[in-house]
Amino acid sequence: MKLYKTDAIVLSDSDLGDQDKIITLLSHRYGKIRAVAKGARRLKSRFAPAMQMLSYVTAVLYKSKRIEVDTFNECKINSSFLGIRNELLRLAYGYYSIELIMKCVHGAETPPFLFDLVLKILFLLEKIPKESLPVLMRSFELRMLTILGYRPYLAGCVECHQKVEKNRRVFFSGYEGGILCANCSKEKRGKLVSFETIQWMKFLRTVSLDKLANLKLSHRVSEELKIIPKSYIPHRVGEEVLSYTFIETVQALETEVETAKKTSSPSTETRVSWIDQE
């Protein structure tokens, strides 16, 4: 058996017998790896703290020649992303990112810059202002899809290849894999989107990730970009990414709580006049 070392992100864990766990990792150099962590289910296991989903670790593993599952020799945590775990909305986005990787990345054929991208996204998920979380995720989706060869066709209509011009009606189809012109979208194929949304899709693939927090998208563009997680990705991977619904549920709850706070707390003026009367 050969020993090797790699940086990795823990994607999932499952129990193996009474004592062990099987961990799925996205590694820097070897793509997706499955490995056994012996004794990881024991309370005092040296591996246990590092085996939580979303942890960024440096692992030393034995490569097995006979089976496709390697074995942990050592594992040290570099970050457990507490900033993500401590806030439900950020955690929902974290789960969604991990599910996307689980469903889109297959085997060892993954370029190291995909790992670098995921790691950068997780560090940003910890600290980016909450209102920028959707744009961060749309940029991550579009970049990851591009790296993996699934990027949407945005150069023109997917059917007739006609360029889409600013003043023409433009449609986007998750099923067809990109833009449809008004002519080709007959029979109600695709969803009508603004030209601006298509421009944002192109821009979000390449803009510096550090600048995302400064971007201001209109409500219409933000809503239309949801076609990527809701339709484009499910058609490319052949199934729903279930934790996207979790993000929407948490977001709706947070909005409800904020609205309730605003309507139930008296305004400053009311409080001042009430104190005056006393």
Which alpha helices (H) appear in 35-185, and where do they start and end? 82-85, 88-104, 112-127, 133-147
Least separation in angstroms between residue 175's CB and Zn ion is 15
- Rounded to 10°, the helix 133-147/88-104 angle is 10
Which segment (102-110, 184-192, 233-241, 254-262) binds Zn ion by CB under 5 A?
184-192
Token pair recorded at residue 183: 């002519």
Task: Please identify which residue in the block is written with the tokens 């899709």.
Answer: 201
Least separation in angstroms between residue 191's CB and Zn ion is 15
Token pair recorded at residue 141: 């989706």
**Nearer CB in complex with Zn ion: 100/170:** 170
Least separation in angstroms between residue 202's CB and Zn ion is 18
Given candidates 157, 164, 217, 228, which one binds Zn ion under the rule CB under 5 A?
Answer: 157
Distance CA 91, CA 133 (A): 11
Q: Quick count: other Cβ atoms within 10 Å of Cβ 59?
A: 24
Which segment (18-26, 178-186, 190-198, 219-227) binds Zn ion by CB under 5 A?
178-186
**Nearer CB in complex with Zn ion: 25/181:** 181
**Nearer CB in complex with Zn ion: 183/249:** 183
**Nearer CB in complex with Zn ion: 159/254:** 159
Q: Is 27 helix (H, G, I), strand (E, B) or coil?
A: strand
Distance CA 212, CA 216 (A): 9
Given candidates 74, 126, 159, 196, which one binds Zn ion under the rule CB under 5 A?
Answer: 159
By the rule CB under 5 A, 198 interacts with Zn ion: no
Least separation in angstroms between residue 179's CB and Zn ion is 8
Instruction: Using CB under 5 A, count the residues that bind Zn ion.
Output: 5
Least separation in angstroms between residue 173's CB and Zn ion is 11
Distance CA 192, CA 180 (A): 9
98 CB burial (10 A radius; 0-12, 13-18, 19+): buried
Which segment (58-66, 110-118, 152-160, 171-179) binds Zn ion by CB under 5 A?
152-160
Amino acid at 245: T
Which segment (49-57, 155-163, 167-175, 198-206) binds Zn ion by CB under 5 A?
155-163
By the rule CB under 5 A, 124 interacts with Zn ion: no
For 145-177, give the secondary structure using H, E and C.
HHHCCCCCECCCCCCCCCCCCCCCCEEEECCCC
Which segment (38-46, 74-82, 118-126, 153-161) binds Zn ion by CB under 5 A?
153-161
Site string for Zn ion, 17-36 (x = CB under 5 A): --------------------
By the rule CB under 5 A, 160 interacts with Zn ion: yes
Residue 238: C-alpha distances to residues 104, 108, 270 (Å): 10, 20, 56
Which segment (116-124, 131-139, 159-167, 267-275) binds Zn ion by CB under 5 A?
159-167
- Residue ranges with strand state E in 199-255: none
Residues at the site binding Zn ion, with contacts judged by CB under 5 A: 157, 159-160, 181, 184
